[in-house]
């Protein structure tokens, strides 16, 4: 690897933790390579990783253009004075680092630039893990001698790439922002990642969570190519986005909700005005008239009144002449404001919720909306959800593989017991490892989509569409 800090040891050959070779990591059973940087892809079946996590395979070697460093100054190699056996050091932003420390920093930047790695997790000086195709591995080459050095590396080498001025200094226990790391190849887009750090004195060692975005935008066709969704499901979701169905995506952390949400936006009418509300900027829509609104977080010790919440921004979006609102994820009373917006002229709005099944997603949406509903009864909020949300799309990790595990239709009316009525249109059959069709859409949903220009292809539903 061509280190920005000086020469470092060559990467070892790819080990036995993953099939394939350094030249072709998708050989020997991986199948076709997913689009670069896509969290959707296939992995072999495997058991849960042992504890501690296995050693990670080496990161790909960069191009001749070296990985960027955290300063624009020329790095000055120096020798410590007064020692007979002096140790070479490198100065980065006025902090001196030894070659061993810089080798670990090199390895960290290389992992961030590795498109196969979707997460980088730093738990302490000698504990860094990377997530590759659904499994986490321990990165042995990232190893810092002590807490002070570990925190200096985060402050001087990692955080300069994050859009925050906060540092680990004893005063900031929470540091958040978006990381933008220039690629080691100038022909490639930069690495973008959501960065979250819990710092001392809240914890003894900084806990760093870096969730990377796909380097390249991926549409539904790209997701289909990985096998994460069937062609019929893909065509149906394209039609859903184009015909302004209101969609809620559900899934656990890292299951691909945001990637699928981004992909669906490719099928929105380019003439629409979209308001995007997020707590951390991740979505970038291929549409001209888009307004991006980002909330601000309340850090420990700060005045809560100074924060701008997602709920507040969704409420403001309703006054901004939007055609749709897209909320990255609802975690609080923003769920209620999303329902009000989508049910008041912004049909086709989309959001996501953290839940591991469609049923729990509806329960979660109900619980979140109830927080902001004031004196509104639970039954009334249930009716709002049923009348507003057309589809619920579940994303999952199945044996390390990212899949769209279900698409469910939400009936517009509650049943006689005041409960939601749903039907599964598509689902992933885990036993057979394939997507299957469960039901054709209801007459009401089919009529709604057709009234908005959709042509329902009978091939999507082999059981046949109602006459």
Tokens of 222: 């790209």
Segment 150-171 mean pLDDT? 93
- State what percent of residues in the chain have pLDDT above 90: 58
CA-to-CA dists, residue 453 to 73, 240, 243, 389, angstroms: 58, 11, 7, 19
Residues of the chain with CATH 3.40.50.300: 220-460
Band (pLDDT 50/70/90 cuts) for residue 254 is: confident
| In CATH, 1-214 is 3.40.50.720 | no
The pLDDT value given to residue 221: 92
| In CATH, 220-460 is 1.10.150.120 | no
pLDDT in tens, 183-201: 877 888 899 999 999 999 9
Residues of the chain with CATH 3.30.450.90: 1-214
The pLDDT value given to residue 389: 97
Strands 274-278 and 324-327: parallel
pLDDT in tens, 107-142: 999 999 998 899 999 999 999 999 987 789 999 999
Segment 274-296 mean pLDDT? 91
The CA distance from 8 to 312, in Å, is 49
The pLDDT value given to residue 125: 96
pLDDT mean across residues, the chain: 81
Band (pLDDT 50/70/90 cuts) for residue 9 is: very low
The pLDDT value given to residue 300: 61
């Amino acid at each position: 690897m061509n280190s920005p800090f000086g020469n470092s040891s060559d990467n070892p050959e790819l080990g036995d933790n993953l099939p394939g070779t350094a030249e072709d990591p998708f050989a020997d059973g991986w199948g076709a390579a997913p689009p670069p940087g896509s969290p959707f892809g296939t992995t072999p079946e495997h058991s849960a990783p042992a504890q501690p996590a296995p050693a990670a395979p080496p990161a790909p070697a960069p191009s001749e253009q070296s990985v960027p460093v955290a300063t624009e100054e020329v790095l000055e190699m120096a020798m410590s004075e007064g020692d007979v056996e002096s140790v070479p050091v490198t100065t980065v932003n006025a902090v001196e680092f030894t070659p061993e420390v810089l080798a670990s920093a090199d390895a960290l930047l290389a992992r961030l630039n590795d498109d196969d790695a979707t997460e980088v997790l730093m738990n302490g000086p000698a504990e860094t893990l990377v997530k590759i195709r659904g499994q986490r591995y321990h990165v042995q080459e990232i190893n810092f001698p002590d807490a002070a050095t570990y925190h200096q590396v985060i402050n001087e080498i990692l955080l300069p790439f994050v859009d925050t001025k906060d540092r680990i200094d004893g005063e900031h226990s929470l540091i958040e922002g978006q990381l933008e790391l220039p690629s080691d190849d100038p022909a490639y887009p930069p690495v973008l990642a959501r960065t979250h750090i819990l710092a001392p004195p809240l914890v003894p060692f900084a806990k760093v969570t870096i969730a990377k975005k796909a380097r390249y935008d991926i549409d539904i066709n790209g997701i289909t190519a990985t096998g994460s969704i069937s062609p019929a499901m893909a065509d149906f979701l394209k039609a859903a986005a184009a015909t302004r169905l209101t969609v809620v995506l559900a899934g656990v952390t890292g299951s691909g909700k945001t990637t699928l949400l981004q992909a669906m936006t490719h099928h929105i009418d380019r003439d629409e005005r979209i308001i995007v509300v997020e707590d951390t900027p991740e979505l970038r829509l291929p549409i001209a008239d888009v307004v991006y609104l980002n909330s601000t977080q309340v850090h420990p010790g700060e005045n809560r009144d100074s924060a701008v919440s997602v709920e507040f921004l969704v409420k403001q979006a309703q006054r901004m002449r939007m055609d749709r609102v897209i909320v990255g994820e609802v975690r609080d009373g923003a769920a209620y404001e999303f329902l009000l917006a989508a049910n008041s002229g912004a049909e086709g709005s989309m959001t996501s919720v953290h839940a591991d099944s469609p049923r729990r997603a509806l329960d979660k949406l109900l619980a979140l909306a109830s927080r902001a509903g004031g004196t509104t009864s639970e039954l009334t909020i249930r009716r709002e959800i049923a009348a507003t949300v057309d589809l619920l799309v579940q994303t999952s990790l199945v044996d390390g593989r990212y899949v769209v595990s279900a698409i469910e239709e939400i009936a517009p009316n509650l049943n006689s017991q005041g409960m939601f009525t749903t039907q599964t249109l598509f689902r992933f059959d885990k036993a057979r490892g394939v997507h299957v069709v469960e039901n054709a859409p209801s007459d009401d949903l089919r009529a709604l989509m057709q009234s908005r220009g959709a042509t329902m292809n009978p091939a999507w539903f082999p059981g046949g569409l109602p006459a």
